[in-house]
């Protein structure tokens, strides 16, 4: 496996490669990322994993500075997962001049995550577009834990006619249900044992929806349960899977999306809910 830091070396390495698969990451890798790398290996002959903590998608006061970084451990894990190329540009390689051209995503960028993190999805879409242009992959893989990111990136690829196939990976979870996330490293032992409640309440809401209970009441009760256990809930919402618009009556493919803070750590999670035909 090679670790490459510049676009020039990357293009030289990838010239003549057949099918290239791209797994964009910000490093601090866990099983969620590694399972994407393994899927990419089945879809491409050369897998490129990018490791770049993208300042553009962090707001003022967010955790850009303290975001965990350990390239040598990431490289070790990627080698074991069968990745061929690690692309780890530094900021001056990714943004040699201040990035004044930005991808402007549609209205959904201001909702849910975007309501709490203004500009976040502009930063995500801009860096992913740049990575696609740098790597020229046939296929790019993203985890569904960041469901809204996945939705917007998929739409971006279609809207800008990018010649890349978009593939999603399921959220990887610890045995107690907590979605794997690089930010779990911030949790104290007490917070870590509380954290699986986020997925548990989503499961309770999903069961209630399937049983036909009032959706608003279910969401209110779930937020109240989280608050009673020390969480600050940013949002807990039911949307339709296809474009994250509020569901219309009779819509069957739904998704619950949540973000909440435990102390200084903000966790997000989601749960797809497929209702049976009426």
- Sites of contact with ligand PAF (CB under 6 A): 24-26, 54, 57, 124, 127-128, 146, 149
Closest approach of ligand PAF to the CB of residue 217, in Å:
33
66, 108 contact by CB (below 8 A): no
Question: 237 CB contacts (<8 Å, ≥6 apart)?
Answer: 112, 219, 256, 257, 258
In 3-state terms, what secondary structure has residue 47?
A: strand
Catalytic annotation on 110? Answer: no
Between 24 and 137, name the residue whose CB sits nearer to ligand PAF: 24
If phi over 0 gives left and psi between -120 and 50 gives alpha, with beta otherwise, what is residue 136? left
Q: How far is the CB of 146 from ligand PAF (least distance, A)?
A: 5
**Whose Cβ is closer to ligand PAF: residue 111's or residue 146's?**
146
Nearer to ligand PAF by Cβ, of 85 and 128: the residue is 128
- Taking the complex as a whole, the smallest distance from the CB of residue 125 to ligand PAF amounts, in Å, to 9
Question: Residue 277 CB: number of other CB atoms within 10 A?
Answer: 5
Structural contact between residues 172 and 193, judged by C-beta atoms closer than 8 angstroms = no
Nearer to ligand PAF, 26 or 34 (CB): 26
Q: List the catalytic residue out of 5, 30, 33, 110.
A: 33
Residue 131 CB, shortest distance to ligand PAF, in Å, is 8
Torsion sign (Cα): 151, 64, 23, 161 = positive
Sign of CA dihedral 241, 247, 248, 251: positive
Q: Please give the positions annotated as active site.
A: 33
């Amino acid at each position: 496996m090679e670790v490459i830091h510049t676009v020039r070396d990357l293009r030289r390495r990838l010239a003549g490669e057949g099918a290239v698969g791209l797994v964009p990451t910000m490093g601090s890798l866990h099983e969620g990322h590694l399972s994407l790398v393994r899927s990419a290996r089945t879809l491409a002959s050369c897998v490129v994993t990018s490791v770049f903590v993208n300042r553009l998608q962090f707001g003022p006061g967010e955790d850009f500075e303290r975001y965990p970084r350990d390239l040598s451990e990431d490289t070790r894990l990627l080698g074991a997962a069968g990745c061929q190329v690690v692309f780890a540009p530094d900021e001056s390689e990714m943004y040699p001049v201040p990035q004044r051209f930005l991808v402007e995503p549609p209205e959904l960028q201001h909702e849910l995550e975007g309501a709490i993190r203004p500009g976040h999805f502009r930063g995500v879409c801009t860096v992913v577009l740049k990575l696609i242009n740098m790597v020229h992959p046939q296929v790019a893989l993203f985890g569904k834990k960041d469901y809204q990111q996945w939705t917007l990136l998929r739409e971006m690829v279609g809207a800008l006619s990018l010649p890349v196939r978009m593939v999603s990976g399921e959220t990887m979870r610890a045995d107690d249900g907590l979605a794997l996330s690089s930010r779990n490293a911030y949790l104290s032992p007490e917070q870590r044992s509380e954290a699986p409640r986020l997925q548990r309440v989503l499961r309770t809401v999903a069961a209630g929806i399937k049983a036909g209970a009032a959706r608003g009441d279910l969401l209110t009760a779930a937020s109240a349960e989280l608050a009673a256990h020390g969480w600050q809930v940013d949002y807990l919402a039911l949307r339709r899977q296809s474009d994250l618009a509020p569901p219309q009556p009779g819509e069957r493919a739904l998704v619950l999306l949540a973000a909440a803070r435990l102390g200084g750590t903000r966790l997000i999670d989601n749960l797809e809910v497929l209702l049976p035909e009426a």
